Amino acid sequence: MAQAQAPIDPQLLDAAKRIAGEMTLHALAKAEGWCAFRLSDGTPMHRGTCFPTRVEAVRWCRHDRDNVIYLETQPDAMGVHEAIACLKYARALHDAGFRIPAPEFEYDASMPGLVTDRAKQVLHLASGGRRFPLGR
């Protein structure tokens, strides 16, 4: 017998729907690059704009590391549940005191899939990129 899932917070669901809709729009347009969204409500920072690099997205949002989530477009769009996972992950890191690095700092911004990968990425970001250099 399947366990019933806990209801999703309506505000989180609305934010995720905004993000999923914008990311799907970019997938349909075959756009490649990065989008920026308000962490609080999922509103696109620049509606319809897909920046060529994460660095450009961060710069256009005036280096806002406290209120913005930056996501790379996907060719297969983004579903609402994926957007919920991205928002929860970004908010958890933010609540724990972590911020995205400066735009010049190179790192893999993808959301890690395994618990061990998440722990490793948190340690890497907390060390300023010195703990686990890319490519190793």
Same domain, 67 and 121: no
In one-letter notation, the amino acid at residue 26 is H
Structural domain contains residue 127: yes
Same domain, 118 and 62: no
The answer to whether the predicted template modeling score (pTM) of the entire model surpasses 0.85 is no
Same domain, 16 and 76: yes
Is the pLDDT higher at 112 or at 98? Answer: 98
Same domain, 90 and 112: no
Total number of domains constituting the chain? 2
Same domain, 63 and 90: yes
The C-alpha atoms of residue 34 and residue 52 are separated, in whole angstroms, by 6
Model confidence at 4: pLDDT above 70: no
Same domain, 78 and 15: yes
Model confidence at 101: pLDDT above 80: no
Same domain, 91 and 128: no
Structural domain contains residue 5: no
Same domain, 30 and 87: yes
Question: If you average pLDDT over each of 79-83, 98-102, 127-131, which comes out highest?
Answer: 79-83
> Which tens digit of pLDDT belongs to each residue from 18-57?
999 999 999 999 999 999 999 999 999 989 899 998 888 8
> Which tens digit of pLDDT belongs to each residue from 110-125?
656 666 776 777 777 7
Same domain, 91 and 130: no
Is the pLDDT higher at 100 or at 58? Answer: 58
What domain range is 25 assigned to?
10-98
Distances (CA, A) of 79 to 8, 18, 27, 90: 15, 11, 11, 17
pLDDT at 133: 57
Same domain, 65 and 86: yes
